[in-house]
Every structure is written in C-alpha cells, then in structure tokens.
Amino acid sequence: MRVGYCVVWLIAAISSAAIAQTPNPPAPLPSIVLPPALDRVLRDYERHWRAGDEQALAALFTADGFVPTGGAWVRGTDGIRKTYENFSGDLRLRALAFAVADTVGYIVGAYRYGEGANDGGKFVLALRRAPGGPWLIAADIDQSNRN
C-alpha cells in the first residue's frame, strides 16, 4: 500500500512540475503603422491572396524571390506562381516591426484569416528595390502558430 501511495504522489509531483514549467503564451504584440510604400506591399499581398490571383502575387516578388514549401524553397516568379495556384482566403496581415536602408528592408508581422480572429502565424518579408523603385519581396518566410 505504501508503494502505491508513493507512485501516486510521484506522478502528481511530476505532473505539477510539468504544468508549472509550461509558460503562458505571450500577449500579441501591437500592430504598427508602416510607411505607405511598405504598407502597399502588405495590402497588395492581401488583395491578390483573397482574389486567388497567383500571377499578381508572384509579381510582388523579385524575379529571384523565395517562398517556402514544405521542407524546401521555391525560387523565381514561375515557381512562386505555381506555389500559390490553389491558395486564397480572407488573409489579414499586420506589421509588428520594419526597417529599411536604401534598397533593402524587412517587415516582421503576424497573419490571420478573417475579421477578429487571433493571429494564426507570423512572417518576415525580406524586401528589395531598385533605387527609387517599388519595394518587392525577395523572400517570404512564414510559420503557423499551430504546434
């Protein structure tokens, strides 16, 4: 009987320790307002995604841009267009941070699908532009918040 009590106590202690060590998820970071030239990248991305327009989505990227697929990368306009052929939905992007210097920059953000939904994932857009030209996406790196 004493061994059974010890086993139950040990299991309860281990469970309590595991629960105590599970951190609470951090609160969502607040959105920021982007400069118009950068905000255009996010709004165009949303608009083309919602419309299911893979041609227009691919045009937001540099000719040698990257997007992840599964465990690999796709590179270039044709590959990006093919990757996005069957994607659409009520995508919402929000910016958390950005930086630009001359012809390179980035946007760090979060995404969700639909109005009022919680963030479904996070992203980093690496950006590039010709001097005086529009910002284009050189790489789109995203990760779902699902475990």
pLDDT higher than threshold 90 for residue 1: no
pLDDT (average), residues 92-121: 94
Query: CB neighbours of 40 closer than 8 A, spacing ≥ 6?
Result: 134, 135
Residue 124 lies in a domain: yes
Name the percent of the chain lying above pLDDT 70.
83
Residue 5 lies in a domain: no
Residue 1 lies in a domain: no
Residue 19 lies in a domain: no
Q: H-type helices in 22-140, by residue range?
A: 36-51, 54-59, 77-83
pTM: 0.81
Residue 13 lies in a domain: no
The count of structural domains within the chain is 1
Strands 136-144 and 121-128: antiparallel
Residue 21 lies in a domain: no
CATH number at residue 37: 3.10.450.50
Structural domain that includes position 98: 28-144
More confident residue, 70 or 90: 90
